[in-house]
Amino acid sequence: MSEPRESNAAGEKIAKVIARAGVCSRRDAERLVAEGRVKLDGKVLESPAERVRPGQIVLVDGKPIAEPEPSRLFRYHKPRGVLTAARDTDGRPTIYDTLPPSLPRLMPVGRLDINSEGLLLLTNDGELKRRLELPATGWIRRYKVRAFGEVTDEQLARLGKGITVEGVTYGPIEARLERVQGDNCWISMALREGKNREVRRVLGHLGLDVSRLIRLTYGPFQLGSLGKRLVEEVPPKVLREQLGGAIKKPVRERTRH
């Protein structure tokens, strides 16, 4: 997960600085620059490649960005029926409607669709979010799935070689039939890519209708016994051990909510 360090004299790219300040992700920061909403020392920026040197002032929508907060990571047990989004035009509840107001501004690492539940990582650091989402991390996501229909061990084993569904190629998936209950079956799945609706689309291709999808792990971080709608900060020591160079600043002590 290491990347070449940027010289302090040369500065850091503007999108990275904005992300580190917790304003948004690096990708969204690049969009803000493209929309002319970012100024550096009073000048509207035109390129996300612009570098910020120590002492320079960055404004987003006319407001100075905050000093970067220590990197923090939280485990959240997302329930079904809640969107992984900041807001919804249809008025459906989002994860932010369920989070305690005492928490800092947090961004989700990856997504879980509205009908999925389980572990969702949240961070205050847009650059850390980007690192954790990169396919290059190779982190395994584990799921427990309930689906309507029949499937064989042989069909699931073939997913280990990868599969292409409607023109989209998915990498190797470890899948195992756990048990059968009437017309439903429970399947354990592990994958590294986590493409949009990957589990549902792959199992749908096998003739299964997913009725429940629970994410149990994201890399080294586990849902464990964390109750629904509860959030707990990853201990600083664990964060440093797992992420190493991705953490540029010391993390705060653990808090529970």
CA angle (154, 187, 115) in 5-degree steps: 135
Catalytic pick among 113, 125, 153, 209: 113
Structure tokens at 112: 């879980």
How many CA within 13 A on the CB side of residue 42?
0
CA distance 170 to 191: 9
Maximum separation of any 2 CA atoms in the chain, in Å: 66
Strand runs labelled E in 68-208: 73-78, 107-109, 116-123, 141-148, 163-165, 168-170, 174-181, 184-191
Q: Is 113 an annotated catalytic residue?
A: yes
What are the tokens at 79?
């329930």
Q: Which residues are known to be catalytic?
A: 113
